[in-house]
Every structure is written in C-alpha cells, then in structure tokens.
A and B are shown apart, each in its own frame.
Chain A
Amino acid sequence: MKPVTRIHSRTAVLLDENIDTDRIIPARFLTTTERAGLGKFCFNDWRYRQDGSDNPDFPLNKPEAKGCSILVAGRNFGCGSSREHAPWALLDYGIQAVLCSEIADIFRGNALKNGLLAILLDEAEHRWLLKNPGIELSIDVREQAIELPDGGRIRFQLEAFARHCLLNGVDQLGFLLQHHDAITHYEQTQEKAA
C-alpha cells in the first residue's frame, strides 16, 4: 500500500443513508478474479440508466461532482456484505475518502487496508458537510484533522495502527508475518493442551 498522508479535494455528497455494498457494486460484477478495473461498475445501477447512458439524477454524475475524491455520505455507509470489491471499486472510481457519522465495520476495515480513508465524524459536523456539498477540504492523516476553507479544523479519531499503516504505507501482512514465532508457540501450546 502506498502511504496516504493528505487528501485535498472538493466534496461530493450522497445524502442517502445505509448505502449498502450491493449499491456500491452489485453482486453480478463479483465474478472477477482481479482487484483492478472495478471503477466502471461503481454504483452501477444508480449511476447508469437502462440504456447504459449516465443517469443525470445520480449526484456523482453532476458536473460539480466530477473530479471530487472526497465523498460525504449518509449514515451507515457500506453496510451489508464483506466484499472488498466495494472499496476497490470506489478507489478505482476516484474516491479516496469517505466521511460519515457511522460506517459499517467490515467495510471500514477493508477500506482502510486499501488506503481508502473511511473517517467517522460526529453528527453535527457530518450534518454540516452533508448540507454543504462542493466545499474544498484538506484531510491531514498525521494531524487527524480536516481543514476547512475558512481555516477551521474538524478533528477525527483514527485507530492508531490504521493511522500508522496509512502514513507509512505499512504492509499489514508483513507485520503479521513478523509474529511467526509467537504463532507457532501458540499452536504448540494448543496442541499440547488438546
């Protein structure tokens, strides 16, 4: 994973609550054996009309949302399945951060492991961002702060290890593999007890 230290972009807003992983990427696109190239299916059934043309009612299709890499979404974003295809699709589509007052557990873990900033805000800040689409934000991972155009800052919590991995591009599997001896010891202890 490449380090993620700062993301700067205007915001795009999806007001809907409970945007589930089937909406982010419908299951019929999960027959792939690759991670790459899923952006074209991101929000597929919301984003396109029946004839395959862009749905003008999909908020991210609006001209002002083009090029935005920070998504502010209604609460409980990413609920549903464990498919990591959801963060893969969002990243490939160009989304680098999701801001929300509540994010589903499995999605959040998957997102952070792929360098997609899934950030929890308190409800008042979240509500304010939902009401003010298109504002220019700068997300500073090291400072755990979102800088607003007027110089204000919104602080956010980020689990220490996730933050460390984002900032340093840490390979979590590499980190786990360093525990090889402890894992072997655990297994031996269990087998003796059995």
Chain B
Amino acid sequence: MSARTLFEKIWDAHVVAPESADTPAVLYIDLHLVHEVTSPQAFSELRSRGLKLRRPDRTLATLDHSTPTLPPAANGERPYANAEAKAQVAQLEANCREFGVQLYGWDSSDRGIVHVIGPELGATQPGMTIVCGDSHTSTHGAFGALAFGIGTTEVGHVMATQCLLQRKPKTFAIHVDGKLPRGVGAKDLILHIIGEIGVDGGTGYVLEYRGEAIEALSMEERMTVCNMSIEAGARAGLIAPDETTFAWLKGRPRAPQGAAWDAAVQAWRGLRSDEGAKYDREVRIDASQIRPTVTYGTHPGMAIAMDKPVPAARNAVEQRALDYMQAKANQPMQGTAVDVVFIGSCTNSRLSDLREAANVMRGRHVAKGVRVLVVPGSEAVRRDAEKEGLHEVFLAAGAEWRIPGCSMCIAMNGDLAQPGQLVVSTSNRNFEGRQGKGARTVLASPATAAASAIAGAIADPREYLTEVAA
C-alpha cells in the first residue's frame, strides 16, 4: 500500500461503504458527543420517525452551552438566562432518559464543556472518528482522532445509523519547526498560524499539525491548537498520538484497561503519517519567531503579535472591522484599555490554563473597573483547581470564580459583555457581537488575559512572569 497520511489511515478504517462519483462515503462514527443546543431537533426527528438511537453506548451527553455559571439559589433554583434555556436543558434530560443516553448532567461530578470532558473521561481516543453538533469538536484531534463538527440534521443521522455521508476532504500539513520562546504558548501559536494561513485557509482540508514544536506540546496545549482549526475554516485538525498522548490517557475511566490498554497502545503507535505520504497543501511555521499574539479585528485570522503595529485596512471590510474594534492602524494592541477579562471556554479552561493565569495573578490585584470571569471547563477541573487553591488566587485578585460551562465564549447563558466593552478572552471567536451585542473581543492566551486583567490594558505576560522569577 502506498504511503498514507494519518488522516487517510483513520478515514480508511471507518469506511462502511466507499464513495463513488454519485454518492459520498458512508463513514462510521465511533463516538457521538451531544449537548443541549444542537440536539433537540434531532431527537424529535428520531421520535417522529419511530427510530431508536442506534448506539447509546457510543453516545455521551452533557450540559454546557445554556447553563448558568452562578450557583443555584437557596431553593435549588438555577439562575437560567430565561425560561427557554431552562426548558432546553430539561429537554436534553428527558431525551437522554427516553433514548438511553448517558448524560453527564447537573447531578454528575464529571459534567463540563463537551470538549473538555470527552478527553478527561478517556472517551476520546486515538484513531477514533468523533463528531458533535459543535464546530470545536476539532479539539479531539489532539489525540489523533478524526473529530469534526456537524449540523443538527447530521446529529440525527448519527443517532439513527452511527454513520455519516461524507466526501473525503483534502489534507494540509502545518509543520511547526523550532521551539516556542519562553512565555509563549499554544494559544499564541494557533493564533499566529491562523493569522498566517487566513480565516478560510483551511476550508476543505483536514489539518495535520506536526514538527518539533508540536511534539513538545502537552496534551492540554495540543487541544488548544486543534480546537481552533475550525477558525481557519478546517473542520478537523490532527496531531499524531505519541508517548505524551498515551501517558495522559492511561487510567482514565473510559480508556481501555489492562491487556486491552497494551493492545490499544500497540495499535495507536501506527497512527502517524508514513514517510513520503503526500499532502494536498503544506506550510512551514517557525515557532521561535512567535511572540504573545492577540486579535485586532473581527475574525480570528486578524491576529498579530501584541507589540506589532496593527496593519492598515486594505479594503472597506477590513476598515469596518477596525472601526468596530476601535483599533488604530499602525499602533500595537498592547496597551489598549480593557473592560472585561474572560478566562475559560473549550479552548483554554483546563487545569494548565488556570495555572498559567494564576501564576500571573498570584499576589496581585485586578485593575480598578475591570471585571474578570474565570470559568473552569469541567467539574473535574474545578475540583483540581480548588485542591491547588487556584480559586483563592483568583478570588483574592478580585476575579469571579464560576461553575463550569461555555459561559462568555458563546454568551448564550447570560454571561456577556455590554455594548462597546473590550473583552480580552481566552476563547476562540472574536466575531462581532459574539460576547454580547456591540462587545469587542480580543482573543489571547490565559497568561495574556491574566496580565491584561492586572494591568487594566492589554499586557505582555512575560513581564509578569519575570517579576515572579526575580
């Protein structure tokens, strides 16, 4: 057999019926993740057709998008944004009962953002196909799984058949050479990559991140990188599994155990692109040149090192984006006054992200007038963070410590910014109005977000880390 890429190996292993000129491939899906926002209409479809959910054992549900991040009142009532949000959550609870799906709901000590708990539980494994009605499903590609977001119609397809109709996408290798400088992390790297290839540079492709700088990343960092593949237009991003992956997964509740574990690792070791495998497109990125990076416009491709001047608009559309952001051409983003800081989301709400933010905030106080929300990605992250006392660091600094959920990343649960406010956010999208109508979003790493909270303006976290070291 000719040399194959990692993507091709996973694809080939999941073809139930091959594609032809007339029909797409029927692709088997190993794991289906479900949440309250994009599933109700799919469950209704099954019900109206009298269909069963084919593989409840390959389906896992949680509550994350519409859920409040403030605790319940004394009477147990949760502070939902509105009655519809409450009804949507109740609907998923009822649907999971009716169709036999395990729900990591309010009563679960493992509830959390769907892309945080899948890996935490060990449900996400190398070589799998994983889908969810959520575009950030690309996160799971960090484990060498082919993982991508789907619409609600397709959610129904997977529920009923455990399969999807798919045309084979093209492949795009992103080689990241060298080492990331000290104080520069995975978020800076992926913002830099999207800035380089563009917000639509990955459309039609599955990305494979490879090279020295990628191999050096922790699993949490790899998830941050793969998470934002969709922000370059790619439905999926992949990183070949290695010892880092296996060590992270070992012993997790849904991971294989004992002899099955050894056999699985043996198989997973083959999940890498063969020498000489051909990609449809390739780029090289030099990690050593990357600096703390933020966005300055209204999509993630408008990203730049925070100390570099914002480029002048090349057309009316770009000018409109700069005007919306109140960003000035030829001036750096560093130093821009900040109103709100959000640390959370499926991009950056894991324990290592919270540690990174806490390292900057420890012993310091948030600047006057700045509101800071820290929202852990899951109950497990919350537990671990509290065990380490990270919540005390945040609370002492004047930040809010919330309960897990998507929160201000998608701003549909009532956590949102006011018109005109500038939010430094560790999330993944800086679209107009994403974090509240008229709100202005600057995407950044947890360290940059924390430094900006302290300074009251977009700040280089390396200055804060140096002080701690000194």
Contact check, A26 vs B437: say whether CB atoms are below 8 A apart.
Answer: yes
- CB contacts under 8 Å to B, within A2-53, are 15-18, 20, 22-23, 26-28, 30-35, 45
- CB contacts under 8 Å to B, within A36-85, are 45, 74-76, 79-84
Q: Which residue in chain B gives the minimum CB-CB distance to A109?
A: B151
> B41-81, CB under 8 A of A: which get 1 and which 0?
10011000101001000000000011000000000000001
B320 CB–A CB distance under 8 Å: yes
Contact check, B38 vs A76: say whether CB atoms are below 8 A apart.
Answer: no
Contact check, A74 vs B317: say whether CB atoms are below 8 A apart.
Answer: yes
A124 CB–B CB distance under 8 Å: no
Instruction: Answer whether A22 and B429 are a contact pair too, CB < 8 Å, given A105-B204, A159-B167, A160-B21.
Output: yes
**Which of A28, A33, A81, A175 is close to B41, meaning CB atoms less than 8 Å apart?**
A33
**Which of B91, B149, B233 is close to A79, meaning CB atoms less than 8 Å apart?**
B233
Instruction: Answer whether A176 and B161 are a contact pair too, CB < 8 Å, given A76-B199, A182-B17.
Output: yes
- Residues of B near A135 (CB, < 8 A) are none
B150 CB–A CB distance under 8 Å: yes
- Residue with the highest number of chain A CB atoms closer than 10 Å, among B45, B82, B85, B434: B434
B37 CB–A CB distance under 8 Å: yes
Contact check, B434 vs A106: say whether CB atoms are below 8 A apart.
Answer: no
The secondary-structure label for the interface of chain B is loop
A183 CB–B CB distance under 8 Å: yes
- In angstroms, how far is the closest chain B Cβ from the Cβ of A22? 5
B88 CB–A CB distance under 8 Å: yes
- CB contacts under 8 Å to A, within B420-455, are 429, 431-434, 437-438
Give the distance in Å from the alpha carbon of A132 to the alpha carbon of B258 in the complex: 66
A192 CB–B CB distance under 8 Å: no
> A97-136, CB under 8 A of B: which get 1 and which 0?
0000010111001100110000000000000000000000
- In angstroms, how far is the closest chain B Cβ from the Cβ of A175? 7
Instruction: Answer whether A179 and B434 are a contact pair too, CB < 8 Å, given A33-B87, A34-B41, A80-B135.
Output: no
B134 CB–A CB distance under 8 Å: yes
Contact check, A161 vs B151: say whether CB atoms are below 8 A apart.
Answer: no
**Which of B17, B149, B320 is close to A106, meaning CB atoms less than 8 Å apart?**
B149
> B406-418, CB under 8 A of A: which get 1 and which 0?
0000111000000
- In angstroms, how far is the closest chain B Cβ from the Cβ of A142? 15
B160 CB–A CB distance under 8 Å: yes
Contact check, B204 vs A22: say whether CB atoms are below 8 A apart.
Answer: no
Stretch at the interface among B23-31, B342-350, B457-465: B23-31
Instruction: Answer whether A31 and B151 are a contact pair too, CB < 8 Å, given A26-B437, A79-B199, A175-B165.
Output: no
Instruction: Answer whether A113 and B233 are a contact pair too, CB < 8 Å, given A30-B37, A105-B204, A173-B45.
Output: no
Give the distance in Å from the alpha carbon of A79 to the alpha carbon of B198 in the complex: 12
Contact check, A76 vs B233: say whether CB atoms are below 8 A apart.
Answer: yes
Contact check, A161 vs B317: say whether CB atoms are below 8 A apart.
Answer: no
- Residues of B near A81 (CB, < 8 A) are 134-135, 149
A155 CB–B CB distance under 8 Å: no
**Which of A45, A182, A190 is close to B432, meaning CB atoms less than 8 Å apart?**
A45
Contact check, A113 vs B28: say whether CB atoms are below 8 A apart.
Answer: no
- Residues of A near B200 (CB, < 8 A) are 18, 75-76, 79, 102, 104
Q: Which residue in chain A gives the minimum CB-CB distance to B434?
A: A22
Contact check, B412 vs A179: say whether CB atoms are below 8 A apart.
Answer: no
> B90-117, CB under 8 A of A: which get 1 and which 0?
0100000000000000000000000000
> B229-254, CB under 8 A of A: which get 1 and which 0?
01001010000000000000000000
Contact check, B432 vs A22: say whether CB atoms are below 8 A apart.
Answer: yes
Contact check, B199 vs A31: say whether CB atoms are below 8 A apart.
Answer: no
Contact check, B411 vs A15: say whether CB atoms are below 8 A apart.
Answer: no
Instruction: Answer whether A76 and B41 are a contact pair too, CB < 8 Å, given A176-B160, A179-B26.
Output: no
B40 CB–A CB distance under 8 Å: yes
- Residue with the highest number of chain A CB atoms closer than 10 Å, among B17, B162, B200: B200
- Residues of B near A102 (CB, < 8 A) are 200, 203
Instruction: Answer whether A20 and B299 are a contact pair too, CB < 8 Å, given A161-B165, A177-B160, A183-B163.
Output: yes
Instruction: Answer whether A84 and B84 are a contact pair too, CB < 8 Å, given A161-B165, A173-B160.
Output: no
- Residues of B near A113 (CB, < 8 A) are 151, 153-154
- Residue with the highest number of chain B CB atoms closer than 10 Å, among A32, A82, A84, A179: A82
**Which 6 A-B residue pairs are closest in the complex by CB-CB distance?**
A110-B151, A33-B40, A84-B151, A82-B149, A31-B84, A27-B412
CB-defined A-B contacts under 8 Å, sample of 5: A33-B88, A35-B41, A105-B204, A160-B21, A187-B28
Q: Point out residues on A near B: beta carbons under 8 Å.
A: 15-18, 20, 22-23, 26-28, 30-35, 45, 74-76, 79-84, 87, 102, 104-106, 109-110, 113-114, 159-161, 164, 172-173, 175-177, 179-180, 182-183, 186-187, 190
Q: Point out residues on B near A: beta carbons under 8 Å.
A: 16-17, 21-24, 26, 28, 37-38, 40-41, 44-45, 49, 51, 54, 65-66, 81-82, 84-85, 87-88, 91, 133-135, 137, 149-154, 156-157, 160-163, 165, 167, 169, 199-200, 203-204, 230, 233, 235, 298-299, 316-317, 320, 410-412, 429, 431-434, 437-438
Apart from A33-B40, A82-B151, A187-B28, what are 17 other A-B pairs with CB-CB below 8 Å? Answer: A16-B317, A20-B299, A28-B411, A31-B37, A32-B84, A76-B203, A80-B431, A81-B135, A82-B149, A106-B230, A106-B235, A109-B150, A113-B154, A164-B22, A172-B157, A182-B16, A183-B26
